[in-house]
Structure 1
Amino acid sequence: MGMSAEQEEDSRSPRDEEWPEAEKAEKLARGAALKWASGVFYRPDKLEGLGHYRSREAQRNSSIQSRLKSTVQSHLEGVSAGLEQLRSAAGDVRSVRQDLCAVRWHLLGSAEGFLRLAPLRAVVTEHAQLAAVVRALPQLSSVHELLAQSLRLLHGQQLLEAHAGLMALERLREEITSQLHSSGSLPSDQALGVVESFFAGLQELSDALAQQLWHIVGGGVRLVREDPALFVSAVRIIEREESVDDALLLGPHANRFPAPGRPKAWRQRFYQVMQETIAAAHFKAAHVDVKGPGLGRHLATLQSNILVELRVVKDLMVPCCPPHYNILSICTHMYHQGLSDYLQDILSRDLDKQEIFMLLSWVLHVYQSPEMMGHPDLLPEVDVSTLGPLVSPEVVEQMERKYVGKVKASVTEWMRRTLEVELKEWFREEEPEMDHLGFFQSALPIIVMQMLDENIRVASLVTDSLQQKVYAMAMDELEAFLISLREALGECGKEHQKDRSMPKHYISYLLALLNNNMALSSSISTLHPGSASLAKPAEIPSSLQTALDRAQKKACRLLLEELLLDLQPLYVQLPSRKWLSGAQLVNSMCEVIDKYMRDFSHVRNPVFKFLLAESEHLVMNHYMRALMEKKMVCRSAEERIQLSTRLLQDASQLRELFHNLGLAESEQTLEVIFALQELIRLQDPALLSLEVLGFMKKYPDISDEHISILLDLRGDVSKEVRNVVLEMMAQNPQSLPENYQPIFSNILVPAPELPFCLRKGKCA
């Protein structure tokens, strides 16, 4: 019943060596079965269903074996049928090979017979050619007559009939040439030469017809209005020729042999003639006047003519042409490209600013407007936006820069002349004009602003970018103008110092200039593009604001120099014993100051406030400088009281004057004179260190030299007290508070001759 393990191994080994996959599959199946059985029969009570499981698995194995046997049987039957077919095919191949060998031997035996048929073949060929000539003789005899008739029809502008004759002759020539090529051997050059010479007049007829066609096409815009039938005939002939070209190049016999004069490509030539005609009519005309106003008239003529011709093309030429000609679109492109090239040529010339403006405005606005390419009569068929820009953005940018350069040169020259006229006005015998509020002024701000505004506004009619460029240029030119004005003020001030009587109304014109400067400053923001839509005025460029401020400071400096020149004779008397004895000196100072302030009242705020404050500081500064330069020494306590009282009365009178003029006491610097008189009035020199310490805290820019001079002014300070005061100053250095207005730092001791400087800025 059973086999030993060795026998089983022996019986299995050949199969295992032949089918190793079967052994692997069997092991996997056994392992899976053991795993399943261990899972099902892990308890003794489960063994009761062993018989049920055994019968079920037996049925399943029987089913699987049946399916396997069926599959193997079907596969074996298919293999058997295939082998049978292969045996049959092999037999057929052997039979065919035998037949081919027999045919080959028969052909080799008949080769000599074929060679003896060569003369017969030549005779047949010659017979075929002669038969073709005989059949064509009636037509050949009428070739010259048909040529002459076609020429007559052509001269009578019977184009369709003439073209019918031309096509008949070309067909005849093609038939004869085709017969020569189909005779079995290539035709000789002599035979082809005979045919070409016989039909030599055919090319002349074709050229004459073509010349007539291109003349008609060139005048197509005129003909479709006057005689559209002639233009339609030309188009029909061109279409027939295109059909013949297509048949010869793309038909079943394409490239069989070359047809003389083909392809004619008359449709392509049709478009070329249209383009050449458009270019010659509008863009290659005789030298026209394209300078100045002539350029405007020329552009207007182009606009009118192109619009009229495109209307004719759309309304009259389109119905005369086949739809695939797309004649309106192509003509639009031709006009667009021709105009683009023409304008590029004009823009490359040396144009003035007006010509550049006209061209840019025409290109960017007129061309696509409803007055030209966007005309309602052309819409919607004509869409010029699909053709690209008439002039490239790079060329537009280049022309904008060139335009700005031209405008800049004009503005520079115009401002130079304006400044010359303004400066000449200064030497008039009359004062400058006043406005209704009594402020001096001139027409300079209005003239300058109007000129700049006009150029910016004109540029806005072209593009926003051009407007921005002109605006930037205007700001630069206005800054340069203010710099030139400031330099001219300096020269005028030097000349005035030599002869103060010239100009006669020097101060009035300086005040007018200040008012003009403020008017310019308040008006500059209106030049900014889009200023009307801004919520707040546009900011003035920083460099321009600097130029405005420096021009203002220059004029203020010259005015304060005038005040100082009239006060200087009074300052030379200070301090002196005569000055101590009465108030005549300060009264004279007040009179001079009041006179100048009445003059300064003709300038608007805030400049008047600035001049008032600077005048007060100037009076104080030179008052203090005069006290320190003379080094006056009080000889007694009574004289110190007298000096203190004089200082108090002078300071009070000056303070009252400036207060009445509109300068609040808190804004004045004359308080230093009040502090000084307290330092002089002090009776006990031993208390000077405390008094000086308080003085230093009020005026931290005072130096040891200043204090030494003030102590000398008392006349009763010993060397020991002086040393104590100076030691106290060294031990209590002071730092300048923020926004402190320097007083003593502007008074150098010993005091050299200094250039005049405004208090709140550098030397102007």
Structure 2
Amino acid sequence: MKHACCQLIGRRKLQGASSGENTPMLPKEAQKERKKQKSEGIKIVKKIASKLLKNLSSVKEETEEKPVDKESGGRQYLSDQAICELIDQAKFLEACNHIYDLEQSEHKSEINIDSLYKKVAERMWSVVQEEISGGDRMLLEPLKSVGASLKWGKEKEKEWFDSVKDMESVSTWSPKYWNKDLEKLLMECMATQIPSFVSASNTDESALKDHLNQLETTIFPNLRCKRDVFKEAGLLTTYTKCCNACLSSHLSTLTDGDMSFSKCLLIYEWGFNMYRSEKLLMPHWTPQQRLLADAYVLKWIFSNVEEKLLTVTQKEVREALRQVITAGEKPYTDTTIIQVLTGRAQAVQHISDTIKDKVEAVCLEEILHFLHSYKHEVRSLLQLDTFSETYSNLQILENCCIFRAAWHKLTYIYSASADTDAKVKEFIDSTEEQSRELLRQAITSKVKVALKDHFRKDNRDFHKFLDCLRSSFSRFEMKNTETYETLIQTVHHIIVTEYVQALLTASGKSSKRRKIANKIEADHRAIQTLFEECFGTASLDDPIKGILDFILLTDIEAMKIQLVFLLVKFPDIRKEHLNIILDIKGSLNGTDRNAMLEVVYDNCVRVERGHKSFFEAIEIKTGKYGVCGCCCCY
């Protein structure tokens, strides 16, 4: 081609020389034609020369920039500089393919492959950042290239795994981590657009509502408007995942620290309403998947908020239940307990059945935990009470009544399992029985002290004890219960038994019979008043009135009838007990008394008796004042 060009130029020169010699002899028209042809020839030569130079430059560039892989039979590869130009032009997929070709060739030792992949990643992330920060449609093609490159990375990774070779290289291959890097970048970019929230008060809900409203009306619309661009780029799934992960993280931040149930519920409900109104970026579900959407969203986006909501529920229910056993405070009613255990479930039931069931489960679990711990705290609670052990025991018994009544009603509200039902009842029953035993011990101890010198000294310790008991029992409100009925019988039996024992075993010089009778009469009236005022009954049988009536009798036959009455009604009375009663009366001589005693006692042995037991534990000891040692023996 170069030779042809030279010949053409030479020929033109010869033509020009010959024409110059003959110029004077040609007419003017012919000269003009010659000049025109000469001009056109020069243009043709320039055009040919330009094409030649362009072809030569292209051949030289290809020869310099594309090294030849000897084993590949002359296959050509781009230089790192050319690849960097592709990266700068946002042709990421094309750059990745060339880098991968170099990576598989013998030239990989000549070029820093990791550095090229790093440049690709840096440029891709800058494109993503620009788009998130407010980019326009001009970035769509680069963003598409980002999506294609990430897809390419997954495919190449799979090819390597399928080939089962050089697994160590696969684990360190940087494109393998591009998807995670993109997620991290998107999360960071989105987080910077969400303002932080600082509450001045734990109970201030207005500021929280304002913040959530700002998220709903400003922040999330800005994130949603980028959805179409990322969808076209093939990155919608990743973008959606990061949006919701960022939301979940921010909502978790809002629930950090000490938070009330109402504020936590406000956040949870807001998020769920955002989902229902389709204001969140959600995956594309099939109709079948849509049926499980509620549970999916709760687990995926709101798991941390849900966990916080359940934790706060547990904490507040536990604190409310513990107020029932706070010493010195009036117990709650069963209605209050039911409100504590159902109020939070009712507050969330309009959101979804899923969260309602979970809140109910927490409440049931908490009442089990509370009753179990309460059972073991009863003794320590009484040890902390330095004076009013009786009231503490009564409060425990009343708490048991409250929980039993509340649980009975709760079984119609909650679907508690048979195992849970059995455990609750066992905890209540065992705690009640333990408290009843401690109450019996406390009352027995106090009444013994009050009656220690009751029949030898003129003191009012016994009546003070009854007044104290009246004050304690007056605060007991669960009177229409089986527990209270059992309590009446227990307390009555303790007081009467200890009183009779004190009467029959008191030692010392006797006072006048009439004075003792007056004392017994006043004491019996006080006991009756206690049971009438606090227990609503005075019909419980006791031997005190029978003993008093016998002491006041003067007729021998009437005395016999009264003794028979005592033996029939109180079958555990023994001969030594009757002997002491006769000694207290003191109006019979020894012969008549013993003869009457033998006749009456022997005749009553075969008589069917009742089941009252007041004398069984009373032991009569001989004292220095007579046969029995009672206060009436001389």
Q: Does 1:370 pair with 2:273?
A: yes
AA in 1 matched with 2:387: C
Three-state SS of the structure 1 residue aligned to 2:144 is: helix
Q: CA deviation at 1:339?
A: 7.8
Q: CA deviation at 1:410?
A: 7.3
Output the CA distance in 2 between the equivalents of 1:196 and 1:276.
31
Does the C-alpha gap of structure 1 residues 343 and 207 become closer, same or farther in structure 2, counting only changes over 3 Å? closer
In structure 1, which of residues 298, 302, 314 is the aligned counterpart of residue 227 of structure 2?
314
AA in 2 matched with 1:629: T
Q: Does 1:275 pair with 2:160?
A: no
Could you state the TM-score of these two structures normalised by the residue count of structure 2?
0.51
Q: Does 1:699 pair with 2:594?
A: no
Output the CA distance in 2 between the equivalents of 1:590 and 1:317.
89
Three-state SS of the structure 1 residue aligned to 2:225 is: helix
Contact 1:517 1:552 in 2 (8 A): yes
Aligned to 2:602: 728
Correspondences of 1:314-393 after superposition (within 5 Å): 314-318=227-231, 320-321=232-233, 325=234, 327-334=235-242, 354=259, 369-371=272-274, 375-376=278-279, 378=281, 381=284, 390=299
Aligned to 1:227: 136
AA in 2 matched with 1:667: L
Does the C-alpha gap of structure 1 residues 302 and 220 become closer, same or farther in structure 2, counting only changes over 3 Å? farther
CA offset digits 1:662-713 (Å, max 9, x no partner): 976643424422674599742599xx6x986664322111123213434556
CA offset digits 1:342-389 (Å, max 9, x no partner): 799999xxx866499988996x7665x122586346468477669686
Contact 1:659 1:665 in 2 (8 A): yes
Output the CA distance in 2 between the equivalents of 1:163 and 1:623.
102
Correspondences of 1:22-61 after superposition (within 5 Å): none
Three-state SS of the structure 2 residue aligned to 1:375 is: coil
In structure 2, which of residues 354, 361, 365 is the aligned counterpart of residue 465 of structure 1?
361
AA in 2 matched with 1:231: L
Three-state SS of the structure 2 residue aligned to 1:749 is: coil
Aligned to 1:715: 589
AA in 2 matched with 1:331: Y
CA offset digits 1:456-487 (Å, max 9, x no partner): 85687673222223333444555566544433
AA in 2 matched with 1:464: E
Does the C-alpha gap of structure 1 residues 728 and 140 become closer, same or farther in structure 2, counting only changes over 3 Å? farther
Output the CA distance in 1 between the equivalents of 2:295 and 2:506.
89
Q: CA deviation at 1:316?
A: 3.8
Does the C-alpha gap of structure 1 residues 393 and 695 become closer, same or farther in structure 2, counting only changes over 3 Å? farther
Does the C-alpha gap of structure 1 residues 751 and 154 become closer, same or farther in structure 2, counting only changes over 3 Å? farther
Aligned to 1:682: 556
Q: Among all aligned residue pairs of Structure 1 and Structure 2, give the percentage whose two residues are the same amino acid.
A: 12
Q: CA deviation at 1:231?
A: 2.9
Compare CA radii of gyration and give the structure with the larger one: 1
Where structure 2 has 5 or more consecutive residues not aligned to the other structure, the ranges are 1-54, 66-77, 164-172, 349-354, 416-420, 624-634
Contact 2:317 2:341 in 1 (8 A): no
Could you state the TM-score of these two structures normalised by the residue count of structure 1?
0.45
Aligned to 1:742: 613
Aligned to 1:667: 540
Aligned to 2:127: 216
Does the C-alpha gap of structure 1 residues 407 and 170 become closer, same or farther in structure 2, counting only changes over 3 Å? closer
Three-state SS of the structure 2 residue aligned to 1:744 is: coil
Does the C-alpha gap of structure 1 residues 590 and 750 become closer, same or farther in structure 2, counting only changes over 3 Å? closer
Correspondences of 1:230-629 after superposition (within 5 Å): 230-236=139-145, 239=148, 271-281=179-189, 307-308=220-221, 311-318=224-231, 320-321=232-233, 325=234, 327-334=235-242, 354=259, 369-371=272-274, 375-376=278-279, 378=281, 381=284, 390=299, 419=327, 422=328, 443-445=329-331, 463-476=359-372, 483-489=379-385, 491-492=386-387, 518=398, 521-522=401-402, 533=413, 541-544=425-428, 547=431, 571-572=455-456, 603=475, 621=497, 624-625=500-501, 627-629=503-505
Contact 2:531 2:538 in 1 (8 A): yes
CA offset digits 1:123-166 (Å, max 9, x no partner): xxxxxxxxxxxxx97643234799899799769x6546x999x7
Contact 2:317 2:363 in 1 (8 A): no
Contact 1:705 1:749 in 2 (8 A): yes
Contact 1:621 1:743 in 2 (8 A): yes
Output the CA distance in 2 between the equivalents of 1:572 and 1:241.
103
Does the C-alpha gap of structure 1 residues 733 and 220 become closer, same or farther in structure 2, counting only changes over 3 Å? farther
AA in 2 matched with 1:469: E
AA in 1 matched with 2:570: Y
Q: CA deviation at 1:216?
A: 0.8
Contact 1:292 1:354 in 2 (8 A): no
Contact 2:452 2:502 in 1 (8 A): no
Does the C-alpha gap of structure 1 residues 732 and 217 become closer, same or farther in structure 2, counting only changes over 3 Å? same
Three-state SS of the structure 1 residue aligned to 2:278 is: coil
Q: How many residues align?
A: 505
Contact 1:645 1:677 in 2 (8 A): yes
Aligned to 2:630: none
Question: How large is the Cα RMSD of the aligned pairs?
Answer: 7.4
AA in 2 matched with 1:213: M
Aligned to 1:762: none
Three-state SS of the structure 2 residue aligned to 1:492 is: coil
Contact 1:449 1:520 in 2 (8 A): no
